[in-house]
A = this chain, B = another copy of it.
Amino acid sequence: MADTELDERKVKILNAIIKNYLETGEPVGSRTISKYTDLNLSSATIRNEMSDLEDLGYIVQPHTSAGRIPSDKGYRFYVNNLIAAKDKEVSEMQEWMIEKTEKMESLLKNVAKVLATNTQYATMISAPSVVSNRLKFVQLSAVDEHQVLSVVVMDGNIVKNKIINVEKPLDNETMLKLNMLLNTNLNGLTVNQINLALITRLKEQAGIHDEIIAQVLDTVAETITQDEDLQVYTSGATNIFKYPELSDSKKASELLDTFEEKQSLMELLSEGGTSDETGIQVYIGDESPISTMKDCSIVTATYELGDGVKGTIGIVGPKRMDYENVVDNIKSLKGQLDKLLKNTET
């Protein structure tokens, strides 16, 4: 589409404008471009072209007699070209300091942090959704007379615990029986597959201890689903103060609120409309689904953990974001996560 609208010279000028604006954050004028580019043109010519570009909607003037800044459409054009062109460099990125960590939680926190310090933007990452994930192992153990600990391990070594209070102590034998029952029936199942029929059958087999089974299953479902909407880790939220266009009191406060209240981040991250085969999604300005981020750009990527279980990693920054660096970084991390998580599984 761009081809019909923009000749090569306009493209060059537009790119020059955007690049310059990304660096300085100031509106860029015709004279600057006249010197900045290699096509030797006077400022007057550039002015004419810029006027055209403005008519086409790629750039705007913050006010009469100011330079031009990219519009959302302009950014979009730039980003599209960028992502299309840049697929080669990805592989040769340096290895990050992600150590193979046992706990998913610290791994994710780590990733968010690495990405934040590397890009100087705010980052977030959602834990892989557990909904279609399989149960690997269940165990009940008596902690003391009135408390039973239930441990649930999911694929990808996600571990959940819950303490269950019981009226009277369970003897060893019952415990064994219950464990056996649970493991033989539940192992390998996804959370979705645990349906009412199965539950009823389990309860029957548990006899007088059906209530415990119920509690365990409650636990499984509850811990997993309840936790799910909190499983977003953020880092570098305060980086937004590095960008004047975001750091006036009101905007900064709203943005940080959004970051603290993970709920809407979660929704954003699970949107997952993957725009292209790389799995990288870029929201520019108004394209963002979160209203407090209308003045930001968001770059997200989904990483996979085996069979369709996905999490998402994302970056939030000003619209004049260093898209190139961000996309590279995020691609690299996504790759490492994909690899790492697939290996972890047996």
Oligomeric state, in copies: 2
Distance between Cα atoms of A157 and B256 in the complex (Å): 33
Contact present for B163 and A149 (CB under 8 Å):
no
Of all chain B residues, which has the CB nearest A145? B346
Distance between Cα atoms of A96 and B144 in the complex (Å): 30
Distance between Cα atoms of A136 and B252 in the complex (Å): 46
Instruction: Flag whether A36 is at the interface (Cβ < 8 A).
Output: no
Instruction: Flag whether A309 is at the interface (Cβ < 8 A).
Output: no
**Choice from B137, B146, B241 contacting A149 with Cβ under 8 Å:** B137
Closest chain-B Cβ to A70's Cβ sits at a distance in Å of 25
Contact-residue size bin, chain A (C-beta under 8 Å from the other chain): 20 to 34
Distance between Cα atoms of A237 and B162 in the complex (Å): 30
Contact present for A143 and B136 (CB under 8 Å):
yes
**Choice from B153, B247, B346 contacting A249 with Cβ under 8 Å:** B247
Q: Which residues of B contact A145 (CB under 8 A)?
A: 346
List 18 A-B pairs, Cβ < 8 Å.
A103-B161, A136-B143, A136-B144, A137-B141, A137-B143, A137-B144, A137-B149, A139-B149, A145-B346, A147-B157, A147-B346, A149-B151, A159-B161, A159-B163, A241-B249, A249-B252, A252-B252, A256-B256
In this complex, which of A145, A236, A256 has the most chain B Cβ atoms within 10 angstroms of its Cβ?
Answer: A256
Of all chain B residues, which has the CB nearest A240? B253
Instruction: Flag whether A260 is at the interface (Cβ < 8 A).
Output: yes
**Choice from B151, B163, B241 contacting A252 with Cβ under 8 Å:** B241
Contact present for A139 and B141 (CB under 8 Å):
yes
Contact present for B163 and A102 (CB under 8 Å):
yes
**Choice from B102, B151, B236, B241 contacting A151 with Cβ under 8 Å:** B151
Instruction: Flag whether A211 is at the interface (Cβ < 8 A).
Output: no
Instruction: Flag whether A238 is at the interface (Cβ < 8 A).
Output: yes
Contact present for B161 and A151 (CB under 8 Å):
yes
Contact present for A260 and B235 (CB under 8 Å):
yes
Instruction: Flag whether A87 is at the interface (Cβ < 8 A).
Output: no
Closest chain-B Cβ to A16's Cβ sits at a distance in Å of 31
Q: Which residues of B contact A102 (CB under 8 A)?
A: 162-163
Q: Which residues of B contact A267 (CB under 8 A)?
A: none
Closest chain-B Cβ to A299's Cβ sits at a distance in Å of 21
Instruction: Flag whether A204 is at the interface (Cβ < 8 A).
Output: no
Contact present for A237 and B249 (CB under 8 Å):
no
Instruction: Flag whether A257 is at the interface (Cβ < 8 A).
Output: yes
Q: Which residues of B contact A162 (CB under 8 A)?
A: 102-103
Distance between Cα atoms of A260 and B109 in the complex (Å): 12
0 or 1 for each of A94-116: is its CB under 8 Å from B? (1 = yes): 00000000110000000000000
Q: Which residues of B contact A252 (CB under 8 A)?
A: 241, 249, 252
Distance between Cα atoms of A216 and B158 in the complex (Å): 18
Q: Which residues of B contact A257 (CB under 8 A)?
A: 238
Q: Which residues of B contact A153 (CB under 8 A)?
A: 143, 149
Q: Which residues of B contact A249 (CB under 8 A)?
A: 241, 247, 252
Q: Which residues of B contact A143 (CB under 8 A)?
A: 136-137, 153, 157
Contact present for B247 and A144 (CB under 8 Å):
no
**Choice from B141, B159, B260, B346 contacting A238 with Cβ under 8 Å:** B260
Distance between Cα atoms of A73 and B149 in the complex (Å): 52
Residues 212-269 of A at the B interface (beta carbon under 8 Å): 235-238, 241, 247, 249, 252-253, 256-257, 260
